Chain A
């Protein structure tokens, strides 16, 4: 719209333009069309990436970018979990969750054997967490000892 306006207001004497348009373009070299198109088609055939491969390459790059974006988030979650473990508590399973599991087992509509099996699994899991926290506690107590320990002077 704006361009049309500019085209309208731009003063251009019709006589000068008309005179210029009378100039005859020089002739095109014979066979140029064929030469140009042949080379272009050859270039298309020899292209490093075909259109399909190009789409695939774009898709792969999107996946790589997505993975690179997700990786720090996963790493942060993992770090939080490790910190929680080293602090002697489980990050994945809080006391609230364990109570919820217990309530679920007690309220479950299955047979007595099912309930017992689930309670045993929970007990084993809690026992394992206790062992981990005991180990961490023991390691803390031995900290001073371990600092003085060398390969030549094993305890």
Chain B
């Protein structure tokens, strides 16, 4: 696999996902470097990959989890993996000037972590539910229902505020 081509296709999407997961640009870059080192070592495995997009997101997610365990220790790391970074959305996106959009971003950041991740992967990375299931290790139906609940919560919140 050509690394330049791989970076061109997925590099920035992976970086944005890492910033969302870790809540820090510096950590995200470190983990992205580790991930590409891993990709560089994979030679035979690329031939077995059927869906490269799901594969790269899965690898980067695993690498981020490893990083958190290493950085925070096993117990704290596991807790952080489950809850996600508190300021993930704020770090991944520039603060919008429009108040309604800023409010929506704030509400999205307050979603339960498992719904927040699915919404992120679906809306911003454009993954299908099948791909999201592969990345997060859940079934297609679970991914779809988490997404639905998340979006419904955002809609209700938006309706309540207006």
Contacts and interface: CB of A to CB of B under 8 A. Distances in A.
Interface of A: 2-4, 6-7, 9-13, 16-17, 19-29, 32-33, 35-37, 39-41, 43-44, 47, 51, 54
B121 interface: no
A2 B108 contact: no
Nearest to A21: B123
Interface string B124-147: 100011100000000011001001
Nearest to A23: B93
B7 A20 contact: no
Given A3-B140, A19-B101, A40-B33, A26 B94 contact: yes
A143 to B, nearest CB: 62
Contact of A22 (B25, B96, B152): B96
Interface residues of B, number: 46
Most buried by B among A22, A28, A40: A40
> From DSSP, what is the main secondary structure of chain B's interface residues?
helix
The 8 A-B residue pairs whose C-beta atoms are closest, nearest first, are A3-B130, A43-B37, A40-B36, A44-B40, A40-B40, A23-B93, A10-B144, A51-B43
B29 A32 contact: yes
A40 B3 contact: yes
A22 B95 CA distance: 11
B48 interface: no
Interface stretch (B12-20, B64-72, B76-84): B12-20
Given A10-B147, A26-B19, A36 B7 contact: yes
